[in-house]
Amino acid sequence: MRDIVHNLKIVQAIAPAVLAATTEGAAIDLKGVESIALVINSGAIVGAGDFTAKLQESDTTTPADFTDVPDDYVLGELPEDLAANSVAKVGYRGHKRYVRLVLTKNGGTSIAAGAVAVMGGVHDRPVA
């Protein structure tokens, strides 16, 4: 019987930090995986920081090539606004090679946040 630790690939999508501007996450390569969930973990909000999250996709890692993921390819829903001290998750079932998370600052000062990508159905196992 396999354990879950060696069957999940987890990479940092957005490094945990106090974010005071819109932040584009890392391009997550989906080659060799069958499923993905992106998990956002938020902390304190300062100065009524107002941030939203969205998922983008691309066939390349060029930042300008990323476009918003159509609703049909998003599994679950991200909150309209990120809340303090919360966790949100969303999945992707599209066909592009790369996805990324974007946290958009709409107003206020800042939010403490980070995100990870959790991938399953990894073709090359065990995952280190």
Report domain extents, the chain.
9-120
Q: Across residues 99-110, what is the average pLDDT? A: 97
pLDDT (0 to 100) of residue 126: 83
Query: Which residue spans within 1-128 are E strands per DSSP?
Result: 9-19, 23-24, 28-29, 35-46, 50-58, 67-68, 74-75, 87-92, 98-107, 110-120
Structure tokens at 93: 């079932």
Write down the CATH number for the domain with range 9-120.
Answer: 2.60.120.380
Q: Across residues 84-113, what is the average pLDDT? A: 97
Question: Is pLDDT at 127 greater than 90 in this prediction?
Answer: no
Of the candidates 9, 20, 27, 11, the residue with the CA atom closest to the CA atom of residue 101: 27
pLDDT (0 to 100) of residue 103: 98
Non-local (6+) Cβ contacts of 31 within 8 A are: 97
How much is the mean pLDDT over the chain? 95
pLDDT (0 to 100) of residue 1: 54
Give ∠ CA 38-41-42 in degrees, rounded to 5. Answer: 140
pLDDT (0 to 100) of residue 3: 78
